[in-house]
Amino acid sequence: MTRIFLAFFLSILPAIAQAEEAETFRIGNDAFIAGSTVVHSGDGADDLFMAGETVRVAAPISGSAHLAGRRVEIGQSIGGDLYAAGMDVVMRGALGGDATVSGYSVEIRDAVGEDLRASGANLTIAGPVAGTALLAGDIVRLESVISGDVYLSGRQVEFGPEARIGGALTLVSDAPEKIEVPAHVLPEDRITRREMAGWQREMPPMGAISWGQVIWRALVGVVVTAALVALIAAVLPGPLAGMRRRLLAAPWRALWFGFLGLSTMTGAAVLLAMTLIGMVLSSAVLLLAVLLGVAGYFIAVYAFGVGLMMAAGRAEPDSLADRALAGALGALAAGLIGLVPLLGWLFVFALALAGAGGLILRWLRPAFFSN
């Protein structure tokens, strides 16, 4: 789930860059590309990080791919894992590792070498999966072979003539008994059907999660956050530096604008839903509000890290190493504070609001606050 939220955050990077030309940054064999329309067509890349309006993988890579945009197209092989999110995600290249994919329309058209985790309103699995699969969607179509166990949640589930499941199938739905599973897919004795309400009741209580698990997840979040902030600082140093300066110079102003922005968007979603005609747009507005808050959190974490470094007597970061250090420091400090009951959550929420305000100030540049 953490990776999915990070990928959604990456999908709005072109808006932060304000339609700048695609920027490419390399560290060794790792490639970082962000912009409006971004295409990876060079050879010799290991890990790949891409974000844009349209994202295309047109050359094979040996490592893992982290992709986000309105439309994501994978047309070449990926040797490692795939993390992708967007409005439309299509995978037509073979994958050597695990796949974690989310979007409105998701199509897996080639082989997945290990496990698959995919969610989407329209989800199609047309390539073989060597491991297990966790699938969630409104309409789910299975047209190929999944060798391991399958955990599937959907309102409508369709099976093609080539569909096969080698392990067990767990079906979760509002009416699982109405979902027909053909005999050629797997025998009925390997199918477990659960109603959605009953499955929710069976979920473990929060008290069942140990403090060790909480701390471990927090540390993982810190590492991923630091890596993402370093990526953004590398490919978009100018826009991020500008927002960071605004946040540090006037944090309360940014917090106020973040509150106004998110309140306006959530209120607009309610009003659109009340008109009935705008009900479809209501969910899109709520999604934009979530994206704004998530993006704001990462921006504020970076600003927080820079502020801590400057408080310790260091100058503003002017190199990739300093920016990465600031991101790691901010992520670690925010993660530790976030573990404090109640107050920690309020602090994290305030960071998200302030960062969202920094984005709004960059986009709108209100005249009565211009310098």
| pLDDT tens track for 204-215 | 444 444 455 555
Most confident of 185-189, 267-271, 303-307: 185-189
Q: What residues does each domain of the chain span? A: 2-205, 208-369
> Does residue 22 register a pLDDT over 70?
no
> In this predicted structure, what is the pLDDT of residue 4?
42
- Distance from C-alpha of 85 to C-alpha of 315, rounded to nearest angstrom: 36
Give 371 or 280, the one with higher predicted confidence.
280
Most confident of 12-16, 187-191, 194-198: 187-191
pLDDT-derived band at 346 (thresholds 50, 70, 90) equals confident
- 204 Cβ contact partners less than 8 Å away, ≥ 6 residues apart: none
> In this predicted structure, what is the pLDDT of residue 196?
74
> In this predicted structure, what is the pLDDT of residue 82?
93
pLDDT-derived band at 25 (thresholds 50, 70, 90) equals low
Bridge partners (DSSP) listed for residue 194: 172
> Does residue 351 register a pLDDT over 70?
yes
**What is the token pair recorded at 223?**
């590492």
**What is the token pair recorded at 339?**
């573990």
Q: Of 16-20, 220-224, 302-306, 364-368, where does mean pLDDT reach its minimum?
A: 16-20
pLDDT-derived band at 142 (thresholds 50, 70, 90) equals very high
- CA 367 to chain centroid: 33
